[in-house]
Amino acid sequence: MTESEHDVLIIGGGVAGLTLALELADHRRITLLRPGRDEIGASSWAQGGIAAVLAPQDTLEAHVQDTLVAGDGLCDERAVRFTVENGPAAIGWLIDQGVPFTRDPSPEAPYPYHLTREGGHGTRRIIHAADATGRAVIDTLLARVAAHARVRLVTDLQIIELCADNQGCCGALGLDSEGHLQRLWARDTVLATGGASGLYRYTTSPNPACGEGMAMAAALGARLADLEFQQFHPTCFFDPDGPAFLISEAVRGEGGILRNAQGRRFMPDYDERGELAPRDIVARAIQAEMQRAHSQYVALDITHLPAETIEHHFPTIVAHCQARGIDIRREPIPVVPAAHYSCGGVVTDLDGASDIAHLYAIGEVARTGLHGANRMASNSLLECLVFARSVANALRHGQAHGPNRPLARECLATPPDEQAPPPPEGEANALLERLREVMSEHAAIVRSDAGLRTAQAQLKVLKADSDQLNDRFRPTVATRRLSHALLVASELVDSALQRRESRGLHYNRDCPSTIP
């Protein structure tokens, strides 16, 4: 096993990780671990945009109240206000970095950039870069990070566990591209590893996270919370033979209509807000319509808008759907709900600090309290930005000794055996696919007590198989990913059974009411 020393170790290079690296690099030395393949992770697939109070007619209080309503009574209001109040400055920072947001062509426009509206928002407050905002932000920030002399980018190392000494987190253990172990000692470690939508069969990202960061933090004793609130995006392009592709909520924000198998608009039957109801309501409505008609999808129709408007606002979606044989200017888009965003995760404070000293979490891996029982559209990238900048501020000022903290030389956990034989090829991935089937069948959009108990029992069997792989064979990324996924899936199911109500993203047929 090789060893190396690091000041601040950031695990994950999406919007949250890149923002933190840029904000902190002038004050601390940064090692940023991110996948070599940029399609991995959720940030680059974010289409809709970033919510913030930017227009003169909008108010911070309106954004706060919209978020609290969407969170269905479980938001931490202090976290909501902190995020919303710091939103405009975060957007200003992105503009200064050079992110090419879409401008408003109207000379009478009250704000220079085009703002759209999405579900749950009472007004237009979503700034975007056409329909590929995440990609634009990632490209801009990554170029700046790559050029920064005090940031070391590592793209060939996968972290499989965190390390701890008697003072808290002291770094991480990873596997390089050859499967060899590397110990990374660090003064401060930040998780920016994404959520847990990869626990389900259908997702809005081709390579979703499976809760790896959550599981690694929990293994050190960090609290996880709100895992039962897994968001399913209502509109993922339906193509069982092709890769996942999200159809942005902005399509509905600009007037897209959902139609059932008979071609009838159905959302007003479920909610007076129609297609702009919060995502949990829209996803359940779509599933109900699919079950009623025994159909595999519903249709998202935007053909009533001028073709030039569609092409201007949604060039990425137009091109992608055309490649799949659908011209959205002339025909509806087949869509289905898919696992999208984890509202729960590692419990943190407003500085992004977890329960474990020197361990921070930002982005989707963290449970900040912003989302409550349901994330409101486009608040996620805002949360990444605001909390990354907050962690940077905390680490700049050397809280808990920061850059002067001596590097640890001992880890409490015994490292895995590198000399053990390799596991059977494909076995861990097959077990992970079985886990996804269990979760999709029993712990998805609509749940029941019996289904959740079935999931508990089946996950226990899968865990026994996973434990055998870890006990008998050398560690691999696949076997550890399976272990992490099982831990988070089990916690999610347990949390869902313990919540004796239906609220936000958690809907249980056996307790359909909300506890006041």
DSSP assignment letter at 241: T
Q: Residue 44 in 3-state DSSP?
A: helix
Distances (CA, A) of 168 to 365, 396, 399: 19, 19, 14
DSSP-assigned letters across all residues of 143-189: HHHHT-TTEEEE-SEEEEEEEEETTEEEEEEEEETTS-EEEEEEEEE
- Residue 351 tokens read as 């500085």
The number of CA neighbours under 13 Å toward the Cβ of 120 is 26
DSSP assignment letter at 8: E
Say if CB 281 and CB 505 are below 8 A apart.
no
- Beta-carbon contacts of 197 under 8 Å, excluding residues fewer than 6 positions away, are 42, 203, 204, 205, 208, 209, 230, 339, 340, 341, 342
* Residue 66 main-chain phi, psi, to 5 deg: -60, -40
- Provide the b/e sequence for 246-264 (b: ≥16 CB within 10 Å): bbbbbbbbbebbbbbeeee
CA gap 466, 483 in Å, rounded = 6
Tell me the angle at which helices 379-396 and 15-24 cross, rounded to the nearest 10 degrees: 30
Out of 28, 34, 187, 279, pick the active-site residue.
279
CA gap 350, 484 in Å, rounded = 26
Question: What is the layout of strands, in order, in the sheet containing 257-259?
Answer: 230-237, 333-342, 298-301, 257-259
503 is catalytic: no
CA gap 377, 386 in Å, rounded = 16
CA quadruple 386, 387, 391, 392: dihedral sign = negative
Q: Residue 347 in 3-state DSSP?
A: strand
- Residue 287 tokens read as 């599933």
Active site residues: 279
